[in-house]
Chains A and B, each alone.
Chain A
């Protein structure tokens, strides 16, 4: 049986993308899988009684070494902020390519804590900073130093000791450009080194809390229980900075979504589902419910999504247990069709992620296809004709071409870069100043403009001729030819309309990272947790790949 790939015009709608969940394809899971055979080591740990100082952690295989260098600093209570305007943090980190020399550490000691205002070198790969959850960190120190384990309920309600507020890579602030490292096999999957940084930071938080507790009461202190450590992740506060990324990297976005869609197609095409694979699917699905019931948020938007997800999943599980025959041919296809008929988007995408759990043979090869050589598709094929371009727009953007952008509600917002922090922002163009400096992220509107313009010129013109007098829309012409080749490269929605929910864009990216427990703090930023439940570094050589649901 041949199952068609899902229609981009359905999958690439923001409400659908904003319903994606982590899966076996997620970058933090594929990172663990890739690095499980590497040798992990804590190379340096020089912290004072307050936990301030330097630590170095590494992953090593043959001649390749990646070292996380941590700088933990004293931070005044009033200076602690997760907002992008912050200039100081409890700890700052960089992932260094190789073993850092003393000179490297001295150089980095001056630069890394400054973050955006520091300068890194081509020897550094990623950069980040993090703040303590002071309430949780102090609680853990107090209890450990008294020889007790901390209150698990408190820990579960927060989920981490530290949360990062940004993770930078790919040439930012002088970091190594991707071209320097892109041929290394171990980082073929996207964001591998960002994931490594976050994962090693997690271990640092445990080591630091144990260290402070031990110094506080050397005779009585105990270490944080390993199972509690495993249940903690690293929090992350994420704002609008992530949203333009998925618009600015169309081929990369395509490759992420395409991997997911191909996996789903192949799973739906399996004729007989083995008992073993049925059980893996069912077990992961049922166990995962606890990730939803322990999902805390004050966001009404998210609470409603969680409620409908939980309701749908409970119904779905009852259906599976009582009415569904897994022995029928193409059982996953039947299940998928049933999901589409009966359940909300959040539930559909949740189960799609679960369907991948039994199928390493399908999923793992796709992970290597999730990076992109964007440069290859940069040049515009100017020998093509206006008619070609018009047909591409009509075929690839059917809904977008029906939007009336003369209505204010469809043209309400504009994306801009803030002068203060050089970060993307979204504002109402009719209420705020600055719309003349709009970023080229209003893709839907510009597609419509291009189509209107093409209707007025000769179909036989080459694109070269068209562009020679119409370069204002050059960025969108380039884009249309990319979309022609990459069906999942475009969000099929209006990103400047009245109803835009920017966190849908963040949620999409974060689901591919492997984040859990999306906690929107407004429509423009959210908190998440990464690596919660993941094996600790010294457990990597033998761990349960379905750890997310344990």
Chain B
């Protein structure tokens, strides 16, 4: 079994060899490590992308907008991902960002996962019919778990999920009330002696 350290090193060097700057190669290395930690096929997709890259006509996006439509074979997942990560604080205000055709979209995913940690919000990512809930770069919840190469996706969108409770006030209050059953009702004596501070603030 390859260690994550080996995966990171080889991903970095191969990304540089594939024509990316050292700084971007560093990003890719972290991303492939991340995908492999989450048991997603990072090495497999990166290898396939680099083998085909020279034959592809890639759209290299720089400024990311709400709607982004590729004119050539599709967006480079690495350049698109780097720019989403870099621009996420602006993009989060857009609520939803759409891409028409992203090549090797699994390589785009870890950038978005890392972006969730930057903004402190979850992001819902949809790659055609595959759904991913990216949780603060700690885990990925998904309906997809195949060990396969995804060469492209026609529709990719990401939606920032505002930090909200997943329950209503009634549910909270009911649970809170139950939690109160671990408390001791204070009589006068406990009120006087149970706390460290004095009873008045003017002593």
Contacts and interface: CB of A to CB of B under 8 A. Distances in A.
Interface of A: 121-122, 170-179, 375, 378-380, 382-383, 417, 440, 463-464, 467-469, 471-478
B146 interface: no
A383 B89 contact: yes
28 contacts: A121-B1, A122-B3, A171-B3, A172-B3, A173-B6, A174-B3, A177-B4, A178-B5, A179-B4, A382-B85, A382-B86, A383-B89, A417-B13, A440-B22, A464-B87, A467-B82, A468-B63, A468-B86, A469-B62, A471-B24, A471-B82, A472-B23, A473-B21, A474-B22, A474-B27, A475-B23, A478-B23, A478-B26
Contacts of B5: 170-172, 177-178
A379 B23 contact: no
A407 B95 CA distance: 51
Contacts of A174: 1-3, 6
Contacts of B82: 467, 471
B62 A468 contact: yes
Given A379-B118, A464-B86, A476 B1 contact: no
B3 A175 contact: yes
Among B21, B86, B114, B118, the one with the most A-chain Cβ atoms within 10 Å of its Cβ is: B86
A475 B29 CA distance: 13
Contacts of A440: 22
Contacts of B114: 379
Instruction: Please classify the interface of chain B as helix (H, G, I), strand (E, B), loop, or mixed, using the class held by over half of its residues.
Output: helix
Interface residues of B, number: 26
Summarize A's interface: helix, strand, loop or mixed: helix
A177 B22 contact: no
Given A171-B3, A171-B4, A468-B62, A474 B87 contact: no
Contacts of A177: 3-5
B155 interface: no
Contact of A476 (B2, B23, B24, B89): B23
A472 B21 contact: yes
Contacts of A468: 62-63, 83, 86-87
Contacts of A417: 13
Contact of B90 (A375, A464, A469): A464
Interface of B: 1-6, 13, 21-24, 26-27, 30, 62-63, 82-83, 85-87, 89-90, 114, 117-118
A467 B86 contact: yes
A198 to B, nearest CB: 21
A463 B4 contact: no
A473 B23 contact: yes
A382 B22 contact: no
Given A382-B86, A464-B90, A468-B86, A171 B22 contact: no
Given A471-B23, A474-B22, A476-B23, A382 B89 contact: yes
A477 B24 CA distance: 11
A375 B63 CA distance: 26
Return the 6 tightest CB-CB contacts between A and B, nearest first.
Answer: A474-B23, A171-B5, A171-B3, A475-B23, A440-B22, A468-B62
A523 to B, nearest CB: 26
B26 A475 contact: yes
Contacts of A471: 21, 23-24, 82
Given A177-B3, A463-B86, 19 more contacts: A122-B3, A171-B5, A173-B6, A174-B2, A174-B3, A378-B26, A379-B114, A382-B85, A382-B89, A383-B89, A440-B22, A471-B24, A471-B82, A473-B21, A474-B21, A474-B22, A474-B26, A477-B23, A478-B26
Contacts of A464: 83, 86-87, 89-90
B27 to A, nearest CB: 8
Contacts of B85: 379, 382
Contacts of B83: 464, 468
B77 to A, nearest CB: 15
A474 B24 CA distance: 7
B30 A378 contact: yes
Among A375, A440, A469, max chain B CB count under 10 A is at: A440
B25 to A, nearest CB: 8
B43 to A, nearest CB: 15
B26 to A, nearest CB: 6
Nearest to B9: A171
Nearest to B82: A471
Contact of B6 (A172, A380, A472, A473): A172
